Amino acid sequence: MRDTELTYLGHATFTIKSHTGKRILIDPWVQGNPAVPQSLKRIPSLDYVLITHGHYDHIGDAVEIAATHPSAVFVCNFETSVWLGAKGVAEANLIGMNKGGTIELDGIKVTMVHADHSCGILDEGKIVYGGDPCGYVVAFDNGLTLYHAGDTNVFSDMALIHELYRPEVALLPIGGHYTMGPREAAKACEFLQAPTVVAMHHHTFPVLTGSPEELESLAAGRWRILGPRPGDRL
């Protein structure tokens, strides 16, 4: 990981500490996330928060984290940034963007990429439009490139993510039901050609039955499949 620390908090939530000490949280669902170990529920300091989409199991604690971490900058699609602004997140702390765009954050290049999913935001019992769901390619200036797929089915344009950005590490949902399961994730591995794959978004709820072991057997040694437990540092 070239001095980059990646910690799996659980479900689709990860923290990254870059080799320069910048702290990134991907998918701010921490307090309400039953997978996150108690010892990791308090997030010490944060520079950036990346949000893949507006489902509560990804955005659930964003507004609260914005209040407790007033210097953290939130990156998300345009529509979600407007929604967060309406919920009290300061405009100066919001970067709304869209797919294909790249921003640079302290030398870290963050590119928003496609995800095949939905993105309604649950707001006081109603679903409001949250723009499109996405994934992120995060390229550090030490050469490490990560891809967080968000919630998605497999799509053949994952081959473009490989061609354009060459992520070495791919964080992929494998639980099925709301996202791809192991069968589709194995196909995603073929498109992405990332040497290391980290399985996520499984077993948090009973319907998310896909397991890292199933993906590993389908990968047949072609990729290194990691199935971290919540709290594991990679």
CB closer to Ni ion, 23 vs 55? 55
CB closer to Ni ion, 173 vs 212? 173
Biggest alpha carbon distance in the chain? 48
Determine contact, residues 27/52, Cβ cutoff 8 Å: yes
Contact positions toward Mn ion, by CB under 5 A?
57, 151
Determine contact, residues 25/15, Cβ cutoff 8 Å: yes
> What is the C-alpha to C-alpha distance for residues 171 and 94, in angstroms, rounded to an integer?
24
Find where tokens 């109603």 sit.
Answer: 126
Determine contact, residues 28/65, Cβ cutoff 8 Å: yes
Least Å distance, CB 201 to Mn ion, is 6
Least Å distance, CB 132 to Ni ion, is 12
Least Å distance, CB 4 to Ni ion, is 26
Nearest to 222 by CA among 201, 202, 184, 192: 192
* Structural tokens at position 204: 């948090």
CB closer to Mn ion, 54 vs 227? 54
Contact positions toward Ni ion, by CB under 5 A?
55, 151
Binding partner at 148 among Mn ion, Ni ion, none, C-beta below 5 to 8 Å by kind:
none
Least Å distance, CB 147 to Ni ion, is 17
CB closer to Ni ion, 155 vs 223? 155
Binding partner at 23 among Mn ion, Ni ion, none, C-beta below 5 to 8 Å by kind:
none
